[in-house]
Amino acid sequence: MLENPVLRGFNADPSFCRVGEDYYIATSTFEWYPGVQIHHSRDLVNWRLVARPLRRQSQLDMRGNPDSCGIWAPCLSHADGKFWLVYTDVKRLDGAFKDAHNHIVTCTSVEGDWSDPIYVNSSGFDPSLFHDDDGRKWFVNMRWNHRGPGTGRNPAHDAFDGIELQEWDPRRGLTGPVTTIYAGTDLGLTEAPHLFMRDGWYYLTVAEGGTGYDHAVTMARSRLLTGPYETHPARHVITARFAPENPIQRMGHGQYVEGHDGRHWHSFLCGRPQPGPTGAPFCATGRETGLAEVVCRDGWLWLAEGGMVPPATIALPAPRAPATAISRDFRDPVLPPEFQWLRTPCPERIFSLTGRSLRLIGRESLGSWFEQCLVARRQEEPAYRAGAVFEADPPSWQQAAGLVTYYNRHKFHAALITREAGQRVISLVSCLGDWPDERLTFHGQVPVAEGPLHLEVAVDGAEQRFLADGREIGPVLDASIISDEGGRGEHASFTGAFVGVAAFDLTGQGWTADVTRFDYENRI
């Protein structure tokens, strides 16, 4: 049984690809390193993380990238005996400009060592690569227009200036004219183009309506690759914008794949809202990935079960493997696969694996855009419990290590082991999304004895509690802050909640702390 979302907890902008009976989904990672997540499945029900291809400084360096910049909307394809991965590294989010640089890397195996990048263009984001039947390749992306109202092709949103197409050759790069093939519908914010060919038609799927609750998958088609493209008679193939009661919302941004057995599928981005303290919805698990079965009728794709809202479950032979609790003791020489860190291609500067622990190297603050020691994993369900055992002896209040629930530099809660007036304490701090203020809220300090310390966090919907050695400490915190919609930093709505371990040393001397165990369990 397929259960949506199939990839739970911050797996956004799914690019869908099939090679034989192997299915792959590539998703955005934004400021989290290494770049791009690729999951694999043979049954469409159970998915396993198999690669994060952008692992070297030559491929990706995001030091200095603002929150929710970095890797946007990768596109994974297979042709000529190898995989092709197209991605954007966005260097600016706020304001008129985006500074979005598009690259291509290749590899014969998804799990292999991917090539150094080939730079393509910077005219917009959400690029994809279309391999035509005649062997020619075409680069497609939305074009960003910084000039302001009245200058764009689509009055619904001037900055999203249409979908542009240009031929691309692996040896010569971009070649020939640039053609705007689609301006979008009156919903606007037209982005995430993907092309495919079927029965003599070129089909274009795009995302529209923004990544919030008006999100949608829109389709168009043409007999000629360069257009003109006519819009789907229903305009949208997938959207929940007309079904506010549906438990899965924000549906849009996906890609079509014909299955090996003749069934047809379309991926889509989605979110699972839950009520916050004021009743307003929030998506703690961020933007996730779902799958919908589609059928071809009258030359267009339609959801197999009708309507525009994919079902929460789809009958497939394979059972979904139950979620299990995970405990890591960090004795292996590599970081467990669920963990990532922020921005830097030089992880040896922020952590190491000693054979008995994960050693955190204190660098810059939790608000840094450059070199921050935070090693964390995704929140996968609305309720979970996580904990870590720390060996930390901070010399002063300028050094700290602890357990953090994190969305971005404006939105986090932390239980930090530090030292005040010679006494080791746990300091409870939050940044509550008051962008651009960013001031910390201090919830008090709890004295603790020297030696190993077990810190835990329990999250249930909008409530979060920290514990130390099994004893609850501090107030109940607002977990809805750690979400797309949380606080006044809601403009940064692209990632999801993480939980992990962090250290900083504001003297710049690289003080270290050890983590000997990390546990995570979903509470469904």
In angstroms and rounded to an integer, the radius of gyration of the C-alpha atoms of the chain is 23
Do 366 and 404 touch, CB atoms closer than 8 A?
yes
Q: Is 371 annotated in the active site?
A: yes
Q: Which of 3, 258, 338, 371 is catalytic?
A: 371
Q: Which SS3 state, helix, strand or coil, does residue 313 take?
A: strand
Do 445 and 428 touch, CB atoms closer than 8 A?
yes
Do 248 and 272 touch, CB atoms closer than 8 A?
yes
Give the separation between CA 247 and CA 452, rounded to whole angstroms.
42
Give the separation between CA 96 and CA 161, rounded to whole angstroms.
13
Give the separation between CA 203 and CA 402, rounded to whole angstroms.
50
Do 97 and 105 touch, CB atoms closer than 8 A?
no
Q: Which SS3 state, helix, strand or coil, does residue 198 take?
A: strand
Distances in Å between the Cα of 510 and the Cα atoms of 373, 393, 429, 502 are 10, 13, 22, 13
What single-letter DSSP state applies at residue 38? E
Give the separation between CA 397 and CA 505, rounded to whole angstroms.
9
Q: Using alpha carbons, select from 23, 128, 16, 34 the residue that is nearest to residue 375.
A: 34
For the annotated catalytic residues, the residue numbers are 371
